[in-house]
Amino acid sequence: MTTANTPSLARFAALLTLAMLAPLAHAGDTTPALQMQRWSDASGSPASAENGRVFFTSRHGGEWSCASCHGNPPTAPARHASTGKSITALAPAFNAQRFTDTAKVDKWFRRNCNDVLRRECTPSEKADVLAWLLKLDAKTAAAQTPKDQP
């Protein structure tokens, strides 16, 4: 190897490394708390976990609620109500990857709100749902799990 090729090889190696790391840099560009704050700021009002719980479990005049696919509470893997496709746990305490990629969060809120509401969710609705999801941990999830009737 000649010294004339060494800088080119080093540049190539550096570019290859950057290309391989670029997808990792995009994923995880935010946190669930920052997402909630973004929507709360956009709505001009603080998020309400109780409003989020009610919103998540209500049908809004349609066939489905958020809980139809994500479960109630959304702390374990579930299945899409129509397609049967597997869905990982929605609550951030049970799935550390949830709400950490802004582009994915925006995409899935747009799709899922359209399924449930036939419109896009408002920033306030998104903030409220996330406020409730952020409150879910092992203790609160167990307390909110519907009990079987005898």
Tens digits of residue pLDDT in 83-141:
999 999 999 999 999 999 999 999 999 999 999 999 999 999 999 999 999 999 977 66
Q: Which long-range contacts link 139-142 to residues 24+ away (Cβ below 8 Å)?
A: 140/73, 141/73, 141/75, 141/91, 141/94
Residue 139 is predicted with a pLDDT of 76
Using the structure block, give the residue that is written with the tokens 């669930």.
Answer: 32
Contact 40, 127 (CB under 8 A): yes
Q: What whole-number distance in Å separates Cα of residue 89 and Cα of residue 97?
A: 10
9 alpha carbon, distance to own chain's centre: 41
Residue 122 is predicted with a pLDDT of 98
pLDDT single digits (tens) 45-94 = 999 999 999 999 999 988 999 999 999 999 999 999 889 999 999 999 99
pLDDT single digits (tens) 4-41 = 555 666 665 555 454 544 444 445 899 999 999 999 99
pTM of the model: 0.75
Instruction: Give the architecture-level CATH label for domain 29-141.
Output: Orthogonal Bundle (1.10)
Q: What whole-number distance in Å separates Cα of residue 83 and Cα of residue 115?
A: 13
